[in-house]
Structure 1
Amino acid sequence: MRTAPLAIIVIAQLFGTSLWFSANAAGEDLVRAWGLQAADIGRLTIAVQLGFILGTLGFSLSGLADRFAASRIFAVCAVIGAAANAGFALLAGDLGAGLAWRFVVGLALAGVYPLGMKLVVSWVPEQAGAALAWLVGMLTLGTALPHGVRMFDAGWGWQATLLVSSLLALLAAVMIFRLGDGPHLARRAGAPRLRLGEGLYALREPRFRASALGYFGHQWELYAFWTLVPLLVTAARGAEAGSPAGPAFAVIGIGAAGCVLGGVLSRRIGSARVAALALALSALCCAVYPFATGWPPVLLAALMLVWGASVVADSPHFSALSARACAPESVGSALAFQNAIGFAITMASIELTTRLWPLIGDRVAWVLLPGPVLGLIALRPLWRAP
């Protein structure tokens, strides 16, 4: 495996995707400053998801993800995302303005996350599963990073957390622009012209369909869980315990270790079986969690950490399985299409779970349960294959 390009890409992914949940790390302050409710914090996340969906659909259906250098798209989008995130911190004064800025952040992330996956495949296609595990691990750590920054709040206000994320995204843009694209996804001489709606054609391949459907079930659970983590932590510890930033960072951030461990395991049992194992484990956590709220704190914390590790450990393997099922010249469009549908599903699960949270509390975990169960069933042709 070529270590240097992979290291640059995964660190840039960590920095770039810190934009994703930067507003959630400031959730408590926004509730006080703007008079928001838990569902409103969920809407800020949904605005990012909507922007991401429209952006990935644009890249996929137009074929832009495969017409231009992935490194250039990544760099431009990281700069746009950094600017929009700073705009949210410095210019937004209410929920309406905040939603608009977060939507633009989501649009920009459409050129960071899927194109980061394409960059990995372009540099180390022979190690796609393990390499993408590192990439998604950095996405996970990037998601948790604003909570980590918030832990060290020096009294500068919630805006500082977001501005740190913007600076990191700018650094990511410089890193990827200087790295450039790898040699392995260059268009072949005589390859067919890219068609409008290129990403849709991948669905004709049964292996891609199985992987994509498994991914859709996984997405029902993942981002809703990440959105709920501060609420789950506060409910478990009590509001008097103070900010949930530290435990939230641990529960979300441990997913990076889950991704890396899954990448190592995939070399022995394959990506499909790793994805199936992670789906089964996170489904078990969904089923058990509402019964565990009376457990001793150490056991409850252990369950949350297992859930945090398993809920995302399958993600890189869906990308690896889907990339292998596609023609090399359409990988970017196919992955962008898969991401667009998957993130559309997250909007529904985030909206539903944040609305139900005040009514049913911890039992909201059962609302997440159908995702990993149905994903496991959809993936069955791949993990049952010899």
Structure 2
Amino acid sequence: MSLFERFEDAFMPNYGVPPIALARGEGSRVWDVEGREYLDFIAGIATSSLGHAHPALVEAVTRQVSTIAHTSNLFLHEPEVLLAERLRALLNAPARVFFANSGTEANEAAYKLALKYGRREGRTYFVAAENGFHGRTIGALSLTGKAAIREPFGPFPVDVRFVPYGDADALKEAVTGDCVAVFLEPTQGEAGVVPPPDGYFEAAREICDSTGALLVADEIQSAIGRTGHWFAHQADGVTPDILTLAKGLGGGLPIGACVGFGEIGGLFAKGDHGSTFGGNPVSCAAALAVLDNVDLAHVREVSARLRAGLEAVRHPLLKGVRGRGLWLGAVLREPRSAQLQQAAARAGFLVNALQPDAVRIAPPLVVTAEEVDAFVTAFPAIVEEAAK
């Protein structure tokens, strides 16, 4: 049996069978089991911040796993404290941190933290955005505005009211003194890398301030330098009440974080929430290596180069490019993203058909100018092949 057949035989069918089996990686390049080389412009869904086999990440993980690999939450260890302190310093605001293993777990923690606030204040419902994505566990799925993945698993434990993303007037109408919290992504990731209109997050902050609702910023994909800032909300000059992180924080190792600002950071009492693996020493060591080696100036430089190159491509199929930093969506005029993903792979590039008419482009943050140029040079032929 081939590796693909063995996968299909052994695994639940929720993923289908992926078309490529990867064997190893180095920098922004990966090789499949047949030895074919690709430039990786997916980065594990905006997760492999330092690319593959980065020496600093390898050294940090090796050192930590050879020292102590796991403690549970019954004991503390220095890497988790260092990481929490580092995040607070980068946020430059009074905050407290809870570590989990993934984005959906970070959002579960945020959901519970907000729920505790809401029950204390007698508030009854949440607001989130249509087409927003916050995870697949039941609490996070309650807040996810994608009907196709949400509705088969309802009813849900709380009242969540969905509004069009980017519509400040609709948000203002939906948020009253009974609203617990507003969950928003600074840019909607799974919807197709959709940034909001200018001023939207500032308006959301004002609406929450005026009603007493909490503002929760889901930065699972957008944080840790992905947009050219440590956190995307910093570019808007807005501080949320709760922030959630994952993906790029661990550079490929599983970690998530829920950050509560000010009074909200102290709401959980002992025993209110927990995780056996959350804040694992190895994942924390990896995250510290990521924070030590992400170069925001480099991200801004190569992302501007990538965007300019893609925006210069003219083709009837290509409608435009949107997004921020090294987190872009190539938007198509027809639902041919799957064909574009396949054409890119044949040309030696990995991209992600995110929506029928949108392709996610999110290379590692260490991608070089030469690698960006190689992708931009190949892109017109990739689009042409997808259009056929």
Q: TM-score range by the shorter chain?
A: under 0.3
Higher strand share: 2
TM-score, normalised relative to structure 2: 0.27
